[in-house]
Amino acid sequence: MDGSLTGGNAGSWATAYFKFNEHTTNNQCYVDKAVFDGLVCDETAQVRRVTFHHMEPANMYTAMLLWIAKYDDVDMNQLDAAGLAAYQADKTNYDDIFFKPKLNPTASWAVPLVTGHKYRMYWDIGQLNWSKMKIEVANPWKSTDLNILFNYPYTENYEVIEFFGKYDTSFATSGADPLIYLPPQSLADN
């Protein structure tokens, strides 16, 4: 990634357009519809493929859309309670991600996410709750990558969330957002 594709510095990215990845902090990512029909992110950003799969109860999630919105604290903290509720309810703040029935992995939702940001997400039928889910970050996940934080509507206990991939506690760096390290295991009845 020498920057020749994007016309930017080495390490810059071109990716599909999703409103939730349009992070304007420090001009990190910007829309370039003319050349890429997508987003261009500078070398300070890392874009990683994240998949959500093995949802339970599985039959409730088949073919559903996953809805994702930007949800960084720096933006949400500027809203009062009514403004936050309005933001969460406004579907124009979300992009829809289609269910992927085939491989890598099967029955999943795959999406590019910019690290160092927080996202709010829910599945098609509003506050539908899941009891189990796996989240997978594709390689390369590098020691310099920032966290990706998720916010889900909460209406019941989530019984099991399994994170897996190549994580290492030595990746922790100082900064505003803590790196949460969870080895491949189940989290029971939180």
Per-residue pLDDT tens digits for 72-81: 999 999 999 9
Model's pTM, two decimal places? 0.76
Encode pLDDT of 78-109 as tens digits: 999 999 999 999 999 999 999 888 877 888 89
All residues at 6 or more sequence positions from 188 whose CB lies less than 8 Å from its CB, including other chains:
159, 160
Domain residue extents for the chain: 1-45, 46-171
Exposure string of 29-47, with b = 16+ CB inside 10 Å and e = fewer, is beeeeeebebbbbbeebbb
Tell me how far the alpha carbon of residue 170 is from its chain's centroid: 22
